[in-house]
Structure 1
């Protein structure tokens, strides 16, 4: 049999600085388990680890490497809540739904921190993130945001203006900011690799280079890969933007979107002068910029969205102007790494949790807030498999809306909407 070429991690800063770990074998032959998880990113590994801790026999199938997708490529920011915040959820879906989701809005953050401590995961964890306002309208929005989050229990928020802001970020782009001291940032690939190692230490089995080719639903379900199969009592689909062409019922109501990131050479004192307290930053624009210092003192800077997930011809050409607009003094900085990756966006920007049938579960579509929400998803999936479905069903009850125009028009229509909002950001309106 011809050996299939292995799919490595994308050439990113994270891959270059990943903690050492094994290359797992691909699946060969047939295996059986209590739960088969498809996808070894945050959602899949979080689910697998929670289930293994509860005593389940779990097999994880990964098409490439652990953390190959968004979990190993993102901005590394621990941002609380969801991509649509609680006021929108209250207005559209009612107070009961808002209360249920609000009770869980900060839980993903706590799960991440407990995992790091419990399993001694080395992933450059740092505290604090900052939402920066580019104009007066955005600053007023941050005041409302502070009041909203405080109503749902986050008391670690601080509004900054004037000199107080300059103590956190040395840029002329902003008129003020809201600091979430409970947030933070980290090396996301090392986080997921550490949790994968913990899962395996508990007896879990993880196959890399084992893409799902076919799912036959039933009790049990059967999952086919190029060289093997899994017979499972339950299935968790956790491929997000990288599970395409296998489960069509999950594709029509979501859209892969690309984002681009660069990482500079190590900056030393230059970097510490720009971000004196080492917080992560994201602005309040619709198409936002986000950045932070890495563990070795580089500036990691990302921004923009490519609808449909296509890569630009030059990532550096897209991101460098944004970086220099924020920090003109870095005009001569050398870019050491540039990469892109896809996240999965939903029409209402809320995550999609649900069941395909009685024993096939899924969680996807975090719309840019996947670091924390995916860890919450893993806990909720373990709960529902244990028969404790109330919290999972609070999310599953949200509508999963199709994009207008279907798969053919979802990209141009989304891009048109993004153009409108980005124009409004530029005009300050």
Structure 2
């Protein structure tokens, strides 16, 4: 049977020790079968186990293999489309409920880290950096919007103040969110997997779901076994493939690229990010960066539509890094990798139920670290019969990409080109 290892990345190279987990062989029965051992699946499993469910998790490769173990490691609040956009689309009542949940994912992460003693280099503080006066105006509006929904840990930064927290002269200002922050993403996933197992949950690795037999007691088939369950949670996101065709039609895997420098040393690292906050800029095609626990710079950006792996990731991302920090021109890049996230046309997550017993959440559209942890709680609530918050997400409108799967990639790339031009010329 194929054994899929982690891709080469800084996170895989610095991952905490984890026990070997077997592939599923034979038949098992469970209350809930979770497909995917990333954040959505692990968060769901934890909340369900804490509420007395028997849970089995199937992972096609290894815990955190996909976006959960490859992302920029930033705890960013809200959704890829903010609450005001949701409000215009669905009205104030549904938006109020979604707005109340927009800042919950970060709290869940911190609760998990504390409760289960997860070692993942958790640091507080995230900066949204404005390159233009128009972007700064947007941040001012965003602060008012978030405060309307009870989120008050925010500080607007003028040009002088932002240079105290980011050693880069290309920003005119920004906003600091102290409930934001950053983590070692793979170690967070591994810690959550250990928590799942500590509560009696079972995780099978190298066990891809290849077919779902739907019905009153659905069955998930793997190459060498099957799981019979009362409920199924589909949590594969960009790595789900065509297992559930009706989900694949309304989403598109996209790749983002990340590089990591050699260790910079205390003095150089502190000159870049004196308070050790993470940063993302306000461009549509944004750049993001932060320091690791051993004082490397993780820098990411760029989107490849259709999830192809670029031939030379460093050639794409290093110029972006040097534009922000030209003092790193002689610094060696130790790691470069790509990972996929799942984009929806609305850029809002897709949540729902197929039949009576197959639940799903997907399509974080680049805002997955916090949202996935909230999604796990919301899915667990729905399985317990508390569906109000689940329904608030499930009722969001979603549409297939124009032209279907054949044309969705060129259409999305054309849209990104347009917004890239707007970023470049400051519109």
Name the TM-score class by shorter chain. Answer: over 0.9
Residue matched to 1:366 = 364
State the partner residue of 2:270.
272
How far did residue 399 of structure 1 move? Answer: 1.2
Name the counterpart of 1:122. Answer: 119
Mapped to 2, the partners of 1:259 and 1:45 lie a distance apart of: 22
Alignment of 1:234-273 (within 5 A): 234-268=231-265, 269-273=267-271
Aligned residue in 1 for 2:166:
169
Structure 2 distance, partners of 1:186, 1:250, is 30
Structure-to-structure mapping, 1:268-307, within 5 angstroms: 268=265, 269-307=267-305
Q: Give the CA deviation at 1:321.
A: 0.3
Q: How many residues end up aligned between the 2 structures?
A: 426
Identify which of 313, 319, 323 aligns with 1:315.
Answer: 313
1:221-244 CA deviation, whole Å, 9 max, x = no partner?
011100000101100000000000
Equivalent residue number for residue 61 of structure 2? 64
Distance 1:284 1:404 in 2: 27
Q: Distance in 1 between matches of 2:417 and 2:89?
A: 24
Give the SS at the match of 2:62: coil
1:191-230 pair list within 5 angstroms:
191-230=188-227
Shift of 1:23: 1.6
CA distance in structure 1 between the partners assigned to 2:137 and 2:408 by the alignment:
32
Instruction: Report the aligned-residue RMSD.
Output: 0.6
- How far 1:69 sits from its partner (Å)? 0.2
1:239-276 Cα distance to aligned partner (Å, 9 max, x none): 00000021111001000000000000011111111100
CA distance in 1, matches of 2:316, 2:355: 43
2: CA distance between counterparts of 1:284 and 1:363? Answer: 26
Taking the TM superposition and a 5 Å limit, the aligned residue runs for 1:64-103 are: 64-103=61-100
User: Are 1:24 and 2:29 an aligned pair?
Assistant: no
Secondary structure in 2 aligned to 1:103? helix
Measured after TM superposition, the shift of residue 162 of structure 1 is 2.3
Alignment-derived partner of residue 12 in structure 1: 9
1:188 aligned residue (185, 188, 191): 185
Q: In 2, Cα distance between the equivalents of 1:198 and 1:354? A: 26
CA separation in 1, counterparts of 2:87 and 2:377?
24
Give secondary structure in 2 for the equivalent of 1:167: helix
Q: Distance in 2 between matches of 1:400 and 1:229?
A: 32
What is the rounded CA distance, in whole Å, between the counterparts of 1:422 and 1:152 in structure 2?
31
Provide the rounded CA distance (Å) in 1 between the counterparts of 2:115 and 2:343.
32
Contact map agreement 2:125 2:176 (CA 8 A) in 1: yes
Q: Distance in 2 between matches of 1:22 and 1:10?
A: 18
CA contact (8 A) 2:33 2:57 kept: yes
Partner deviation per Cα, 1:20-45 (whole Å, 9 max, x = no partner): 01120000000000000000000000
Structure 1: 4+ residue segments shifted above 6 A = none
Deviations 1:62-104 (A, max 9, x none): 0000000000000000000100001101111111111010010
